[in-house]
Amino acid sequence: MKPSARAPRRPKSSGVAALELALSLVFLVPLLTGMLQFGYYFYIASHAEEAARAGVREAVMKGGNCAGSALIKAEGQAPPPGIWTGNACVQNGGGAAACYMNEPPLGLGSPSNTTVTLDCLTPASPMPDTAPIDPTWRIKVHVEFQPALFAFKSLLPAGLGGKVYYEATVVSSP
């Protein structure tokens, strides 16, 4: 009796699909999680850049000079006043940068997430902060947030409490 051609093949191919899947997942899962992680990170980062731009614009438009800049600084660094967003947020006392980060769906404008630092630089400021004109405003928007996933977290700048951070800096003068 001749042996069947199929009989010995079955044991050979058994489990191959599972093995292929496992091997694929080794590459696929990190790839997809990495895309998610970095995509979310850069999404927040681009918003932080825009928030910094809005914040420094607000400061520059108020004019004045560094000697009398305490109020401008306080207003620019103020966190969002509760649930207000957009223009209403600014009208109710929030700084433009923090209010921008407070926009839905981000909602990262609260002090524990977004820290806005506004510095008024002058020609008398020591290097490397020597500015060409008084006032020259420098804004730093520091955003700390939970990463989308645990994966690849170590590749991102580490913040406090298991968070990661991004910091945007913009300088402008009238």
Of 133, 123, 141, nearest to 173 (Cα)? 133
What angle separates helix 16-61 from helix 70-77, to the nearest 10 degrees?
150
User: Based on CB atoms, which residue is closest to other proteins, 87 or 161?
Assistant: 87
Q: Assess 149 for contact with other proteins (CB under 8 A).
A: no
Binding residue for other proteins, selected from 15, 20, 110, 150, defined by CB under 8 A: 20
Q: Assess 150 for contact with other proteins (CB under 8 A).
A: no
Binding residue for other proteins, selected from 11, 104, 132, 161, defined by CB under 8 A: 132
36-65 residues in contact with other proteins (CB under 8 A) are 36, 38-39, 41-43, 45-46, 49-50, 52-53, 56, 58, 60-64
**144 token code pair:** 């700390």
Binding residue for other proteins, selected from 2, 8, 104, 161, defined by CB under 8 A: 2
How many degrees, rounded to 5, is the angle at CA 107 between CA 41 and CA 144? 45
Identity at 22, one-letter amino acid code: A
State the burial class of residue 28 (Cβ atoms within 10 Å of its Cβ: 0-12, 13-18, 19+): exposed
Give the total of residues touching other proteins (CB under 8 A).
Answer: 50
Cα–Cα distances in Å, from 61 out to 30, 137, 171?
46, 10, 13
Strand 136-145 and strand 114-121: pairing?
A: antiparallel
Q: Assess 141 for contact with other proteins (CB under 8 A).
A: no
Q: Assess 33 for contact with other proteins (CB under 8 A).
A: no
Binding residue for other proteins, selected from 97, 98, 106, 168, defined by CB under 8 A: 168
Q: Strand, coil or helix: what is 57?
A: helix
Q: Assess 35 for contact with other proteins (CB under 8 A).
A: yes
Of 125, 111, 53, nearest to 77 (Cα)? 111
* Residues making contact with other proteins (CB under 8 A): 2, 5-6, 20, 24, 27-28, 31, 34-36, 38-39, 41-43, 45-46, 49-50, 52-53, 56, 58, 60-64, 68, 71-72, 75, 90-91, 121, 128-129, 131-133, 136, 138, 168-174
